């Protein structure tokens, strides 16, 4: 009686070990599938960081060029998501540090910030933000946060990454992840409350 071969482990990305092994060996068909799976996710993440779809498309292409160059180091035994978003995050950070960014004086902001706001807890009581009513205020509040705060809120709430995955993406330990996330949530709550109070002041 023959035994069935074990099924390859499938990761949240929908890719499995065998496909990732072929990706690491630069198999064209597998690589096309790999980039197809991640392109829209990466572009959406970059767009929310940069609030510029055209720029996000350019940096998405840059990130995939970097991934292509290093694809032989991909570990088929691990979910590729954290590695992909590490590359994207570093690509965006490099742009923020670049002369082009400083010369243009661009301000990093976010759109569709209710993706993050739905998880916000306000000190002194839980606050679940209503998407339709609070979206504009949340976008404005997110725009007041530092790039580091926006990164961790996006990874934790928008990408729904676990602490261990965020450790890998940002290159920090679990305690630092929790501390940074907690600070970012508090700052978002403070900024949001301030905007609400401004709206309540009679014009």
List 174's β-bridge partners, or say none. Answer: none
Q: Give the C-alpha separation, 52 to 110, whole Å.
A: 9
Whether the pLDDT of residue 15 is over 70: the answer is: yes
Q: Which domains does the chain have, with CATH numbers?
A: 17-104 (1.10.1740.10), 114-200 (1.10.10.10)
Closest CA to 140 of 193, 65, 71, 200: 193
- pLDDT, tens only, 20-38: 999 999 999 999 999 999 9
pTM to 2 decimals?
A: 0.62
Ramachandran class of 172: left when φ > 0, alpha when ψ lies in -120 to 50, beta otherwise: beta
Whether the pLDDT of residue 90 is over 60: the answer is: yes
Q: What is the pLDDT of residue 27?
A: 93
Most confident of 23-27, 52-56, 137-141, 154-158: 23-27
Whether the pLDDT of residue 152 is over 50: the answer is: yes
Q: If pLDDT is split at 50, 70 and 90, which confidence band does 67 have?
A: very high
């Amino acid at each position: 009686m023959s035994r069935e071969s074990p099924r390859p482990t499938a990761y949240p990305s929908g890719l499995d070990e065998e496909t990732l092994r072929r990706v690491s060996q630069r198999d064209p068909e597998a690589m096309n599938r790999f980039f197809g799976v991640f392109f829209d996710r990466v572009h959406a993440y970059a767009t929310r960081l940069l609030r510029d779809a055209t720029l996000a498309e350019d940096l998405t292409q840059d990130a995939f060029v970097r991934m292509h160059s290093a694809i032989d180091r991909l570990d088929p035994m691990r979910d590729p998501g954290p590695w992909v978003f590490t590359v994207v995050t570093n690509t965006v950070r490099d742009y923020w540090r670049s002369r082009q960014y400083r010369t243009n004086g661009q301000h990093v902001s976010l759109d569709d910030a209710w993706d993050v706001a739905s998880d916000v807890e306000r000190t002194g009581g839980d606050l679940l933000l209503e998407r339709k009513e609070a979206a504009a205020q949340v976008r404005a509040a997110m725009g007041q946060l530092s790039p580091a705060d926006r990164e961790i809120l996006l990874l934790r709430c928008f990408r729904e990454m676990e602490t261990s995955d965020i450790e890998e993406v940002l290159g920090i330990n679990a305690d630092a992840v929790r501390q940074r996330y907690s600070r970012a949530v508090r700052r978002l709550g403070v900024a949001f409350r301030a905007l609400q109070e401004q709206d309540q002041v009679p014009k």
